[in-house]
């Protein structure tokens, strides 16, 4: 059975605050939308993923999904149903998992239960029992409502692709709140499978606080250290932190010899237990001759995120008598943040000298040392 994950991220999510739609807000240092997509695209039973976004949010979506194989972004409609319809027109296969981007955490077991149920039903949805007392309310609390037989319906919801498309073709009512309503209205059956509290939807600002606390209990902090050195050679300018720095001399190296990006890359790889930069980009490999070191840093970040890691902070100290780093510091921070998908306040650049001692003191080259702070799950591979 071929399965596509269809992540619906076209809403504005204004009640959550944060200045941007909630699906683009950072959660544990990573956009909510990216969490939702990674949770499904990483499942072995899911062959592909597509994302439906709101018009005008292409740049935010591209940034949030950088490095993920989600094909072309799909423009959504005025309401959820229109967005799902737009997504369905772009997919085929046997099964589809329709998922709210505002539900960032999806346990693999839920997907297993949903897809297994499609052998017997046209659709399936995860549900949780209602634990609280329900009551009718006005200005005061009114009569209680019998909660027996009631449940909260979550996403992702799984459907046979042909069945869901046919059900939407027949739908003529008001915009539905989810796809189970559409499929049931077409006379088809939707099974209920066990849901998970991790699938709680992010709606209000307080929900983000709850989600951060949940994450904190599942991830452990890890630290990596990186060091690099290159000798001066040839004419300038030279590359530092992804920025071209005016100087009379360049640096010798197989790539562009950016000691700052090399040190940060090694720090990130070390924090995740993924070896060093030489293992991933051997100097003997002619593909990397003269390559931009931004490729190395971006690759390290993609590797970490593929293993569920969150990059919290990187700090680099440049050791050199010249050139002066201060005039370029903010440009370097901004460029590193751009490459690594971080905010600028997650990047620190400092500089020092060796007071005339050693090879840097003799102005023979530049060294850099970096520290990276990340968080990874206990079960992540390293």
Beta carbons within 8 Å of 99's beta carbon, 6+ residues apart: 5, 6, 7, 8, 36, 40, 106, 155, 156, 157
Strands (E), the chain: 3-9, 26-27, 30-31, 48-53, 74-75, 95-100, 123-129, 134-137, 141-145, 151-153, 157-160, 190-194, 219-235, 238-240, 243-245, 249-251, 310-319, 347-352, 365-377
**pLDDT truncated to tens, each residue of the chain (382 aa)?**
999 999 999 987 666 656 788 999 988 778 999 999 999 998 999 999 999 999 999 999 998 998 889 999 999 998 999 999 999 999 999 999 999 999 999 999 999 999 999 999 999 999 999 888 888 888 889 888 888 888 999 999 999 999 999 999 999 888 898 999 999 999 999 999 999 999 999 988 899 999 988 887 788 899 999 999 999 988 877 999 999 998 888 888 888 999 999 999 999 999 999 999 888 888 888 888 888 999 999 999 988 887 778 899 999 999 999 999 999 999 999 999 999 989 999 999 999 999 999 999 999 999 999 999 999 875 433 3
Give CA–CA dist 39/30, Å, rounded: 13
What domains can be seen in the chain, in order of their start residue?
A: 3-216 (3.90.550.10), 220-377 (3.30.1330.50)
CA–CA distance, 199 with 211 (Å, rounded to integer)? 10
Burial class (CB in 10 A: 0-12, 13-18, 19+), 261: buried
For residues 263 and 229, give the distance between their C-alpha atoms in angstroms, rounded to a whole number.
9
């Amino acid at each position: 059975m071929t399965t596509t994950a269809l992540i619906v991220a076209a809403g504005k999510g204004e009640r959550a605050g944060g200045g941007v739609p909630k699906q683009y807000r950072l959660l544990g240092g990573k956009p909510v939308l990216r969490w939702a997509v990674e949770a499904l695209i990483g499942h072995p039973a899911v062959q592909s993923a597509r994302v439906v976004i709101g018009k005008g949010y292409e740049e935010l979506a591209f940034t949030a999904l950088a490095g993920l194989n989600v094909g072309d972004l799909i423009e959504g409609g005025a309401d959820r149903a229109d967005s799902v319809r737009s997504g369905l027109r772009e997919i085929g296969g046997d099964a589809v998992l329709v998922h709210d981007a505002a539900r960032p955490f999806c346990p693999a077991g839920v997907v297993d239960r949903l897809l297994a149920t499609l052998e017997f039903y046209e659709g399936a949805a995860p549900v949780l029992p209602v634990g609280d007392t329900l009551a009718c309310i006005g200005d005061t609390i009114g009569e209680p409502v019998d909660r027996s037989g009631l449940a909260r319906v979550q996403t992702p919801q799984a459907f046979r692709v042909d069945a869901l498309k046919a059900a939407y073709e027949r739908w003529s009512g008001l915009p539905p709140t989810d796809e189970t309503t559409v499929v049931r209205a077409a006379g088809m059956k939707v099974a209920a499978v066990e849901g998970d509290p991790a699938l709680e939807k992010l709606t209000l600002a307080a929900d983000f606080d709850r989600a951060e606390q949940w994450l904190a209990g599942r991830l452990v902090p890890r630290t990596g250290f990186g060091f690099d050195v290159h000798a001066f050679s040839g004419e300038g300018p030279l590359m530092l932190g992804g920025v071209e720095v005016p100087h009379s001399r360049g640096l010798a190296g197989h790539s562009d010899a950016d000691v700052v990006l090399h040190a940060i890359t090694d720090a990130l790889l070390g924090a995740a237990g993924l070896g060093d930069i030489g293992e991933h980009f051997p100097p003997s490999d002619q593909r990397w001759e003269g390559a931009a070191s931004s490729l190395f840093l971006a690759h390290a970040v993609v590797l970490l995120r593929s293993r569920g890691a969150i990059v919290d902070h990187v700090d680099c100290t440049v050791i050199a008598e010249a050139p002066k780093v201060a005039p370029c510091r903010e440009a370097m921070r901004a460029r590193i943040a751009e490459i690594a998908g971080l905010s600028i306040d997650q990047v620190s650049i400092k500089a020092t000298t060796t007071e005339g001692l050693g090879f840097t003191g003799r102005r023979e080259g530049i060294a850099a040392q970096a520290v990276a702070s990340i968080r990874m799950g206990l079960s992540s591979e390293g």
